[in-house]
Structure 1
Amino acid sequence: MRGKMADSRIFGHTSKVIETALDVSARRHNLIAGNIANMDTIGYQPKDLDFNSTLKRAMGEKEPDFLDKTHPMHLSTDDDDPSFAMNGENSDAVDIYHLDSVNIDTEMMNLTENNIKYRTTTEMLLRKMKILHYSIDEGGK
């Protein structure tokens, strides 16, 4: 019991937010990378998540759902989910002249934005660790 109390005072809510933000950012990076990798795949629908709402939900009481659908046509990422199929579409119905469902400019913009958020969160973590180091070192005495 005492250990848990000490941990909460040292690492507190800020560290939990930083940890969760890094997790959400890493998950979003994987989705964006998957979109870019599948940009020439017929029928592929890009996936993304809203960083802020996903982080808020992850910090809430209920179990976080890190893979937020931002569009009703986006696919589920759960392999066991029957809705993972192509929404009843077959390959004959795909318009081969409009294969560009993934916009590389949008994906690169999303990747850059996510990278900035990840680097900012990492800087916050480093500053938190410096404060802890300073405290442990008794303020440099």
Structure 2
Amino acid sequence: MLNRLTDSLDFHGQALNLRADRQRLIASNIANADTPGYVARDMDFKQALREATGAIQPARALATSQSGHLAGASGARAEPNLLYATPSQTNLDRNTVDMDRERANFVDNSVKVEATLRFINHDVRMMLDAIKGQ
């Protein structure tokens, strides 16, 4: 039972971290909506979560091939592969931020953050109920 709870909390914790990363990306896109030449970024959440949970290997893992190369910190979470947004319409300033898309992504991601928090809360309550013997 404890392993199931730990696995569930670990999964939801990783999902919550990735959701926070995505929220920062979306906020950055919105903040740069008027910046000439800014290219909107996003992540493939499903792919990033698979990589974070070890379901698949990261697409681009760095290896130390020379003795002078620095090894990555053990246990450090790799940055998800970021994608570039395709412009929905051409702009003279080459900015690819579509505010309607970004607002929709922001709200969608916010709802999913709330759902993840509810899953975590449910798991913790279930464990507390089991400890109390109810």
Superposed pair shares fold, TM > 0.5: yes
Q: Shift in Å at residue 49 of structure 1?
A: 0.5
Question: Aligned residue pairs: how many?
Answer: 112
What is the aligned partner in structure 1 of residue 103 from structure 2?
108
Partner residue of 2:125 out of 115, 126, 130:
130
- Secondary structure, in 3 states, of the residue corresponding to 1:48? strand
What is the aligned partner in structure 1 of residue 79 from structure 2?
66
RMSD: 2.6
CA distance in 1, matches of 2:21, 2:42: 9
| 8 Å CA contact 1:24, 1:66 repeated in 2 | no
Q: Structure 1 residues 14, 62: CA separation in 2 closer, same or farther (over 3 Å shift)? A: same
Partner residue of 1:27 out of 4, 13, 21:
21
Between structures 1 and 2, the one with greater strand share: 2
More RCO (CA 8 Å, sep 6+): 2
TM-score (norm 2): 0.73
Structure label with greater radius of gyration: 1
Q: Shift in Å at residue 136 of structure 1?
A: 1.2
Q: Structure 1 residues 96, 24: CA separation in 2 closer, same or farther (over 3 Å shift)? A: closer
What is the aligned partner in structure 2 of residue 121 from structure 1?
116
Q: Specify the code of the residue in structure 1 equivalent to 2:53.
A: M
- Taking every aligned residue pair, what percent have the same amino acid on both sides? 26
TM-score (norm 1): 0.69
Structure 2: unaligned runs, 5 residues or longer:
59-76
CA distance in 2, matches of 1:33, 1:72: 14
